Amino acid sequence: MPRAGVRFGISFPNFSLESAAKIARDAEKAGLDSVWVNDDIVGVFQKETFDAILCMAEMARATRRIKIGSAVLATYRRHPVNTSMSLVSLDHISGGRLIAGLGSCCPSPEWGFPLSGDVADRFLEFLNVLKRLLTGGAVEFQGRFFSLKSSGLTVRPRQRPHPPIWAAANIDRTIRKIAQIADGWLPICVPPQIYTTELQTLRDSAKSTGRRPREIEAGLMAFILVEKTRSMALKRAMPLLAQTALWFNAARIRKMGFGAVGSVSDVTPEMVQALNIVGTVEEAAQRIGEYIDAGARHLVLQPLPVKEAREAIPRIVDSIRQAV
């Protein structure tokens, strides 16, 4: 696949309002196309968390060109009405540079968000309602999870008909569902060979609903850790990334033939390398190239460790340049 025209961004946790602005400026100065922020209540790779929407506002105010994205807003903790208002505001603050990345994420009963019905079905319904609200006009919707009868939002987004809505989907069933409505697909931690198969699942499902398959942007999010040697990178990656194999990738681990993984102690270095980008600049460039050849058109790379995110940008950019 031609490698020209592929876009690249970086993402990072919602760990600091000040750092969000600094990282966004650094990413724009480095020539990257997008900068994204996570939406955690409890930090995965950091101790502190701030509101993701406010982090994005800081990112938007600190930059002029680069796209501002969420990777991803946890819809299980949100309602589409409040979320649509926040996204409209962000699209105005950014001057029409917003990419709205959303995911179902997991129920959080300890925070008052218990499991209620099918997670994937709620996610799809959320996306449907959100898209109607962002498009403008009256919204009348009666679903299993949401019920609205509204004259619509009083402010329209800068982008028309609405900011692009990207959906995180990491199992086949959800991938098929989001093909009905999403403008972009943003899976996480997918080996290139599996990415190709899942992208085809997405496009086949889009075609079956009457959509043009390639109108859905083929995105990808991956953790990246670049060091002087592969062994150094893997040594640092294992304690940081072993847990992600359990969070995101039980189905994909089975697809790769690794067998069942019940705890972090079951995660092997081979699994971590298969699911992430870990190695030297040259090895990272090779892996990025494999993702492009697999069909990815917008790669969102999340550097680790978090505290070294700004310092990692030049190494990531070097890998990208070698890849393309």
Q: Kindly report whether the peptide bond that precedes residue 114 is cis, defined as omega within 30 degrees of 0.
A: no
Q: Name the burial class of residue 191, with classes exposed (0-12), middle (13-18) and buried (19+) by CB atoms within 10 angstroms of its CB.
A: buried
pLDDT at residue 248, rounded to an integer: 67
Q: Torsions phi, psi of 83, nearest 5?
A: -65, -40
- pTM here is 0.95
Instruction: List beta partners, residue 233.
Output: none
Tell me the fold of 7-323.
Answer: TIM Barrel (3.20.20)
3-state secondary structure of 79: coil
Reported as a single tens digit per residue, the pLDDT across 174-229 is 999 999 999 999 999 999 999 999 999 999 999 999 999 999 999 999 999 999 99
279 residue type, one letter: G
Domain-by-domain residue ranges, the chain? 7-323
Q: What is the mean pLDDT of the chain?
A: 94
Instruction: Give the pLDDT score at 1.
Output: 42
Instruction: Using the predicted structure, report yes or no on whether residue 293 has a pLDDT greater than 70.
Output: yes
Residue 305 phi, psi (nearest 5)? -65, 160
Rounded CA-CA distance 185/183 in Å is 7
